[in-house]
Amino acid sequence: MRYLSTRALNADDAKPFCDILLEGLAADGGLYLPETYPQVSAETLEQWRELLATEGYAALAARVIGLFIDDIPADDLARLTAAAYTGPKFSDPQIVPVSRIGAGPLWLGHLSNGPTAAFKDMAMQLLGELMEYELSRRGSWMTIVGATSGDTGSSAEYALRGRDGIAVVMLTPAGRMTPFQQAQMFSLSDPNIVNVAVEGVFDDCQDLVKAVHTDAAFKATYHLGAVNSINWARLVAQVVYYFCCWLRVTDGPGQEISFAVPTGNFGDICAGHIARAMGLPIRRLILATNENDVLDEFFRTGVYRPRGPEQTWATSSPSMDISKASNFERFIADLYGRDGARVRELFGAVAGGGFFDISGTPEFEAVRTGYGFVSGSSTHADRVATIGRLWREHGILIDPHTADGVKVAEQYVADEPVVVLETALPVKFAETITEAIGEPPPTPERFAHIEEGPRRVVDLPNDVDALKQLIVGTVESLPSLVR
Ligand SMILES: Cc1ncc(COP(=O)(O)O)c(C=O)c1O
Ligand SMILES: N[C@@H](CCOP(=O)(O)O)C(=O)O
């Protein structure tokens, strides 16, 4: 299996999985995609049903991900998935259980049982294993430069702390994360972890990451790598839980279900799009945004108009306060039949501060009819009401992002089961939970003292040169990194 940038003009540039695992973002600014999506038959799905029941999530992950990787031996990959998806890292032995909300059509897919209580752990735990494996095979090292709106950062740091040959420089939007999210990251004292508070919003952090990654000389000298969902390895690991949820909710071949996905950077739902393209019987992909509703606007109207920091609102589902969703480019590349020139043209307009409008085109018609996307958005009042209602009526406590998913899913209820992906645990968002149910969320024992103790974080202006200096200083301060 080989991979090409969404902006590639030449199929000869295709690369194997382990190259793009370490490269992260393509040199042309595009995102990697496999040349084709492997197809999974109904018969294979039934074999995987048996596999999941007898050998568990890690075995399923090795099979699904193995379809996309031919440069890691199958036994090694199985060992890596077994190391990633296990207790006590994950607090539930099923790794991804599902539960039904009452007797209705809505289900929750529980993705937040990992070390940092967010769905990011589902991919990040594996990414940590894969990166260490490949760096050690090559005798190399890496400086991860990432951006977070609250959950990717801690998830990456818990997956990579103390790992040999890897440093992490993680950019956070100053003052925009919850106290719990800040504590999860800033309390870490490992020398290979550097937390940064950038004067700006998440999109500014993400733009800085992309700027250093597209400076080829700098990237090569400092061995820059990526852990955001711009890295294909993140997405392929996330594809697995769509298969898992489908297998747990259905009991036979061909049964269609839908997924409702709280969306920010379009990574989670892009993994659903890929699972569907592989043949998983998904009827609809229900995209849910908060008040930062650029993607909902696109899926309703065909107009993609990213917004600037001044129009990116600080909301009570803060991890989705994103107005320029990276992975959306992957979907557009598929929509346009991997026409790299067209993708360059569309995203060139966006990079210049503009927008694109594909309303009235056959491609936009296909978004709904061929790809199953529908969308909606949610407000603070909606999520508080949804959290309160599920708590009172069903005794189920969900976080504000999952509440956005439930709220939008309810708009689209039909006759098939709908799995709402639970993307974080309530403990991370105490203020909103308290507003919704009149008391703070329970704190799982493993997080009992997280908000106590000293913090380590570096302030940084929104400036590429300042970031480069910080990266240089970090690498120089860790002599064990450079082999
Ligand atoms: C808790 C939570 N929910 C939902 C999302 C949205 O996921 P994605 O960015 O993959 O669309 C994020 C991160 O963006 C998140 O941290
Ligand atoms: N919500 C994310 C934003 C980054 O998304 P990613 O999936 O591209 O890493 C976060 O919590 O940081």
Side chain identity at residue 321, one-letter code: D
Q: Which atom of ligand 2 is nearest to the CA of 153?
A: 12
**Host H or E run for residue 99:** strand 98-100
Whole-angstrom distance, CA of residue 457 vs CA of residue 435? 29
| Banded pLDDT at 245 (limits 50, 70, 90) | very high
Q: Domains of the chain by range and CATH?
A: 98-117+238-437 (3.40.50.1100)
Instruction: List the beta strands (DSSP E) in 231-354.
Output: 257-262, 282-289, 303-304
**Ligand 2 atom index nearest CA of 229:** 8
Report the separation in Å between the CA atom of 325 and the middle of ligand 2, taken as the mean of its atom positions: 10
Task: Determine phi and psi for 208, rounding to 5 degrees.
Answer: -60, -45
Nearest CA to 456 out of 182, 155, 159, 118 is that of: 182
**C-alpha radius of gyration, the chain, whole number:** 21
Residue 482 has pLDDT above 80, yes or no: no
pTM beyond 0.90 = yes
pLDDT at position 193, please? 97
Dihedral angle at the C-alpha atoms of 131, 136, 138, 139, nearest 10 degrees?
Answer: 130
Identity at 400, one-letter amino acid code:
P
State the average pLDDT over residues 348-360.
94
Cα(281)–Cα(88) distance, integer angstroms: 32
120 a catalytic residue: yes
For ligand 2, atom 9, which residue shows the shortest CA distance?
228
Does ligand 2 come within 6 angstroms of the Cβ of 229?
Answer: yes
State the distance from the centre of ligand 2 to the C-alpha of 321, rounded, in angstroms: 10
Residues 20 and 33 sit within 8 Å (Cβ to Cβ): no
SS3 433: helix
Nearest CA to ligand 2 atom 1: 319
Q: Given this model, what pLDDT does residue 291 score?
A: 98
Query: Is 264 near ligand 2, meaning CB less than 6 Å away?
Result: yes
Q: Look at the chain and count its residues.
A: 483
Q: Is 483 a residue whose pLDDT tops 70?
A: no
Q: Which ligand is nearest to the CA of 118?
A: 1
Ligand 1 centroid–CA 340 distance in Å is 27
- Using a 10 angstrom Cβ sphere, with 0-12 exposed, 13-18 middle and 19 or more buried, the burial of residue 189 is exposed
Q: How far apart are CA 382 and CA 390, in angstroms?
A: 12
Listed residue (291, 231, 239, 298) closest to 270, CA to CA: 239
> To 10 degrees, the CA torsion angle through 349, 351, 357, 363?
90
What pLDDT, in 10s, does the model give residues 203-237? 999 999 999 999 999 999 999 999 999 999 999 99
- Single out the residue of 283, 243, 290 nearest to residue 265, CA to CA: 290
Judged by its nearest atom, the ligand closest to the C-alpha of residue 265 is 1
481 pLDDT band, cuts 50/70/90, is confident
Residue 443's CB is within 10 A of a number of other CB atoms, namely 16
Cβ 152 under 6 angstroms from ligand 2: yes
Query: How much is the average pLDDT of 349-374?
Result: 95
Of the candidates 15, 89, 120, 407, the residue annotated as catalytic is: 120
pLDDT at residue 164, as a whole number: 82
Band of pLDDT at residue 479, cut at 50, 70 and 90: confident
Separation of alpha carbons 186 and 60, rounded Å? 34
| Ligand 1 atom closest to the CA of 271, numbered from 1 | 10
The predicted pLDDT at position 453 comes to 82
Our CA dihedral for 302, 308, 309, 311, rounded to 10 degrees, sits at: -60
The pLDDT tens digits for 303-317 are 999 999 999 999 999
Three-state SS at 174: coil
326 lines ligand 1 (CB under 6 A): no
Tell me which DSSP letter residue 374 carries. Answer: E
